[in-house]
Amino acid sequence: MNYQLTVKSLRLYSFLPFFATVLMIAYAYYTQYVDYLDPCPLCLIQRFIIIAIGFLYFLTFIYPPRKIFRTVITVLITLISFFGVLVSARHVWLQNLPADEVPACGPGLSFMFENFPIGSVIKDLFTGSGECAEITWRFLGLTMPMWTLICFIGFIIYTILWSRLRQE
């Protein structure tokens, strides 16, 4: 399924996921600063992953890739999105644990960076804590980590389809 595209239309296909990441991050900051929903450590990692995906798609918008560069970008975005799937799935799993099995809440992120070695902080970030199990937001019955999980899967599918597009 290879389609002939102009550079202009290829840029549009790169702009759409970039714009989606901008909207996702904008909404994350909106919920943080307007709705006062502080992000947990796993939420922060998911934000970073979304920013990385957006940055890579922005690069392809500025400079539509050909051949090897397209393959490299496709692999990078797919791997980063897959990592996002893993982090989001872990977050969803924590949110669905029975109350007695939820890990204890750890200290705040700023406290951890000031008082613990960086390796320990990174490990704690990726494993999540009790605060990651709290559900404070839902839309259509799904929590924010569930929506980000769907978005990361969508990025994987879109990136694979995007990689199959050809320039004239």
Domain tally, the chain: 1
- Supply the CATH number for residue 9's domain: 1.20.1550.10
C-beta atoms surrounding 93 within 10 Å: 13
* pLDDT at site 1: 47
- Compute mean pLDDT per 10 residues along the chain, 168 residues long, and list them: 59 88 94 85 89 94 80 92 92 76 57 67 58 70 88 94 70
Task: Please give the pLDDT value at position 110.
Answer: 63
Quote the pLDDT of residue 75: 92
pLDDT value of residue 150? 94
3-state SS of 70-107?
HHHHHHHHHHHHHHHHHHHHHHHHHHCCCHHHCCCCCC
Which amino acid is it at 79? L
* Alpha carbon distance 74, 57 (integer Å): 10
pLDDT of residue 121: 63
Domain membership of residue 22 (yes or no) is yes
**For position 168, what pLDDT does the model report?**
44
Q: What is the pTM of this model?
A: 0.77
Instruction: Say if 112 falls within a structural domain.
Output: no
* Amino acid, single-letter form, for residue 117: P
Q: Are the C-beta atoms of residues 14 and 60 closer than 8 Å to each other?
A: yes
Asked whether residue 124 is assigned to any structural domain, the reply reads no
Residue 119 lies in a domain: no
User: What DSSP state is assigned to residue 40?
Assistant: P
Query: Looking at the domain assignment, is residue 144 inside a domain?
Result: yes
Q: Which residues of 126-146 are buried (b: 16+ CB within 10 A; e: fewer)?
A: eebbebbbeeeeeeeeebbbb
pLDDT score for 22: 96
122 is a domain residue: no
43 is in which domain, residue-wise?
A: 4-100+133-167
pLDDT of residue 85: 94
